[in-house]
Chains A and B, each alone.
Chain A
């Protein structure tokens, strides 16, 4: 088994993905295609080239000796489709306009990184979180084991649209599951985000039956998740699985630059205002036995 991970980023002093001070590892690759995804660079399983013309010196008419000579002409002519991963990864772009999303992390390097932040984890009740993308689609077990052997709290932020086997294998090494809940009707789920809701429900049922510590995270997106019908389904879902910790947040448009960098189209969403967040949080608390926390970035 391959014991390296393909990451897009490591975030230290991460304070949104579980308790305390954490270091979050963003893994590359996801089965779903949520229109509101704010980390589009984590969707593909392969490394990808990104290019931000706005930042590029050549594009601004300034010489840049760091770039591949073959690219310079193309950038000037705005022909931007011939970047190759191997060539780009050799370039150390001075303005970070051109680069590759996706790099490998070995267990040994992972341990070094975690050790640096160990004291902060222990003193704050924090730890490590694997997010993404979908962390359950890569072999994270050696990493979880390494974390556990150091006595560190482990969390996974998953959409749970993965084969149940993947979930079963990691369960004993994970202290907290942060699980997204998105669209709860079978057809729309398939149609909009490309996920099989049955798989999701089976997985959440497994976690719930095993009395795992679960935080459910609900992204509010007008017209998709934040609809009358979906809210009713959400309340029923929370009751059915006796979920007690709910986090809600508004979808944001901070991923815009990344879409641009990947040459993908970004759909702009209405940001949910504070009173709508409050409204939803009160509704859910009233109808269920759960506690709702509003996440703000």
Chain B
């Protein structure tokens, strides 16, 4: 073990002194992605050897981190490989194999971010550059921004001559590139191309989980102008948007973050404006229609709905959902917007919220907000209690235990915050340019909002645990919990009866019963109250969410818990029943009464729906969803599945290459998923099938 560590240390030291650590780390991850996130080292090595010729190095030895990032970006623009597929409508080639030679930097690269493309579409890069150049005094930061603009100009010049050499007949595309993104876009096609180019540069600058924003709103002025000018028909617009989506799908593998499909490429549609009016437009429908035809897992749609969403939009959305692609995810403006205002976001900004990567509300173009900075596990403090005999022996009644838990939760949350405080972000003059930063880099607090978002996992397991312990203590006349502790430590061995009782009997998280709601809201309130007392290192606040990607990973670390979960088993996913699935109305009633005004950083109610059942009860499902949101539901995500197909696919995933499922907050091909995720999804589908068809 020690020798292994030594070797690692020596390798790191050598790489560090050659300024190659960053490059090596990125190349390893790229090769892993190339192999579909397998853990097989041999495969990764083969990919590493195979792809060596693709590597493009860029280097900078500047010490000032902001300037260094500016120069590195310009180098990327100079050296990135260019490519265009035959008959492409757009040119788009994020070169993922660019490796940076630079001093080792432990700061965190910004990700989970969406810029406001309006800035580029309205002004163009040249005008942005001129604004900075006209400043009377320029500091290093301003110079870095100018360097970024120069980089983009260089990239465009390279693209134009590339197009002239490679597609001499396609003058149209070369003309468009000559205009955007340097100058304002004048048509829908120009706007789409402009977005694509900027998007590819963000990817090449190593940012992860790059969102697209409210594209129906951003693009509408260009669409309607083209229509009015008679240069575009609705059908032609559909074709353009279809190629745009297909273009964005390129690089799917390399854009994925931790699993194939986890790209963060979210297109937000719909939503209300600052007057409270629903601002869906023709593009809202066109995007959904196009996605329905393309049947791609990525990019994906988040639909902002409200009580004013039209019937047309609902029908198109449900039609799309019915395709079983795992989207749209619904986000309720009537709940999310007041929560954002309550949290301190300005009225003028909140109406423009998008989501980071999956579901966390994020205001595009004005915020640094890193909404997935860490994950709280509600079960861990309870586990700590059950691991300490001295504590358990003092518990005399349920209230004792609950109070000890809240104290333990305090400590746990505060510890987590301490860890976050030490995180430094890596400067990004590119994002700073596109995020209207004032005077300093986005990573140093230059954006208007600098809040950090915390996700959570295990709340359903901990609520179920408390409800069970309450019954357990009642049944055993308030005996001590020593016996239970022993049972948990032994992973329910010899006590399967108790395990099933904990899993199946009594009230559960997700039941619309007042006692369940009360415990859940106490926990939410408790954590957000702690968070409210803290300010992060950039002066922003902390936000709490109830969704998290980590239900499998964290589950592996947790001991057996009093919700009937054995050691290592998955935790509950988002807001849903932890063990026994079913009963939509109970879950929806429960969920719609949670306190989202203090917890809104990703609050997804997650259900599985049998595809045939949805098809046959289309209108009832629309009513079900609408009522859920009218009653206060915040966000909803559905896996529309057919259990039979899924269980067949589990036996032989490759036979179903096009089967798409929703994972924690993204859609993916079933065959691409690790086995444990496949099994998890099939098991949920089985439970829903049982519940739907037993009566």
Which of A's residues lie within 8 Å of B, judged by CB?
9, 11-15, 20-21, 24, 26, 57, 62-66, 92, 94-96, 116-117, 119-120, 123-124, 126, 254, 296-297
B583 nearest CB neighbor, chain A only = A12
Chain B interface residues (CB < 8 Å from chain A): 494-501, 503-505, 512, 583-586, 589, 612, 616-617, 619-620, 623-624, 626-627, 630-631, 693-695
Q: Is the CB of B623 within 8 A of A116?
A: no
Asked whether, in the complex, the Cβ of B497 is within 8 Å of the Cβ of A64, the reply is yes
Contacts of A96 in B (CB 8 A): 504
* Contact partner, A120, options B501, B504, B585, Cβ 8 Å: B585
Task: Give 25 pairs: A residue, B residue, CB < 8 Å, sorted on A.
Answer: A9-B695, A13-B585, A13-B620, A13-B624, A15-B617, A15-B620, A21-B620, A21-B624, A24-B695, A63-B496, A63-B497, A64-B497, A66-B501, A94-B501, A116-B512, A116-B585, A117-B589, A119-B630, A120-B585, A120-B624, A120-B627, A123-B630, A124-B620, A254-B694, A296-B612
Specify the chain A residue showing the minimal Cβ separation from B506: A92
Identify whether the interface residues of A are mostly helix, strand, loop, or mixed.
loop
Extra pairs beyond A62-B496, A120-B585 (4, CB < 8 Å): A57-B500, A117-B589, A124-B619, A254-B694
Note all chain A residues with C-beta closer than 8 A to B503: 94
In the docked arrangement, what's the CA distance between A43 and B140, Å? 84
Once the chains bind, are B623 and A13 in contact (CB under 8 Å)? no
**Across the interface, which residues of B come within 8 angstroms of A62, CB to CB?**
496-497
Q: Smallest Cβ distance from A23 to chain B, in angstroms? A: 8
Whether the pair A120, B500 counts as a contact (CB closer than 8 A) is no
- Which B-chain residue is minimally distant from A258 (CB atoms)? B694
Contacts of A9 in B (CB 8 A): 695
Q: Give Cα distance in the complex from A13 to B494, angstroms.
A: 38
Distance from A254 Cβ to chain B, minimum over Cβ atoms (Å): 6
A21 to B500, CA, bound (A): 32
Residues of A contacting B617 in the complex (Cβ-Cβ under 8 angstroms)? 15
A52 to B623, CA, bound (A): 37
A119 is contacted by which of B495, B496, B627 (Cβ under 8 Å)?
Answer: B627
* A124/B693 in contact, CB under 8 A: no
8 Å CB contact of A94 from B497, B619, B620, B693: B497
User: B495 to chain A: which residues have CB within 8 Å?
Assistant: 63
- Taking a contact as CB atoms under 8 Å apart, the answer to whether A94 and B500 are in contact is yes
A residues near B499, Cβ cutoff 8 Å: 94
How many Å from the CB of A159 to the closest CB on chain B?
18
B623 and A120: CB pair below 8 A? yes
Closest to B584 in A: A13
Given contacts A13-B585, A254-B694, contact A95 B627 (CB under 8 A): no
Nearest-CB distance from B688 to chain A (Å)? 12
Q: Which residue in B496, B501, B612, B623 is a CB contact (below 8 Å) of A92?
A: B501
Q: Are B496 and A123 in touch, CB under 8 angstroms?
A: no
| Residue from A14, A65, A126, A254 within 8 A of B497 (CB atoms) | A65
Known: A92-B505, A94-B505. A66 touches B497 (CB 8 A): yes
Q: Which residues of chain B have C-beta atoms less than 8 A from A126's C-beta?
A: 620, 623
User: What's the minimum C-beta distance from B469 to chain A, rounded to whole angstroms?
Assistant: 15
Complex-state Cα separation, A206 to B498, whole angstroms: 55
User: Considering the chains assembled together, what is the distance between the CA atoms of A116 and B512 in angstroms?
Assistant: 8
A15 to B612, CA, bound (A): 13
Q: A9-B695, A13-B583, A94-B501 are in contact. Are A124 and B624 (CB under 8 A)?
A: yes
If A21-B620, A57-B497, A63-B497 touch, whether A123 touches B504 (CB-CB below 8 Å) is no
Contact B630 A20 (CB under 8 A): no
A296 interface neighbour in B496, B498, B616, Cβ under 8 Å = B616
Q: In the complex, which residues of chain B have a beta carbon less than 8 angstroms from the beta carbon of A296?
A: 612, 616
Q: How far is the CA of A96 from the CA of B580 in the complex (A)?
A: 13
Question: If the complex has contacts A66-B501, A92-B505, A94-B500, are A20 and B623 also in contact, measured as CB distance less than 8 A?
Answer: yes
The docked-state distance in angstroms from the alpha carbon of A13 to that of B623 is: 11
How distant is the Cα of A297 from the Cα of B583 in the complex, in angstroms?
16
Chain B: minimal CB distance from A123 (Å): 5
What residue in chain A is nearest B592 (Cβ atoms)?
A119
Cβ-defined contact, B500 with A116, below 8 A: no
Closest A residue by C-beta to B692: A297
Nearest to A124 among chain B residues (CB) is B623
Instruction: Name the A residues within 8 Å of B694 (CB-CB).
Output: 254
Most-contacted residue by chain A among B494, B503, B619 (CB, 10 A): B619
| Chain B neighbourhood of A12, CB < 8 A | 583-586
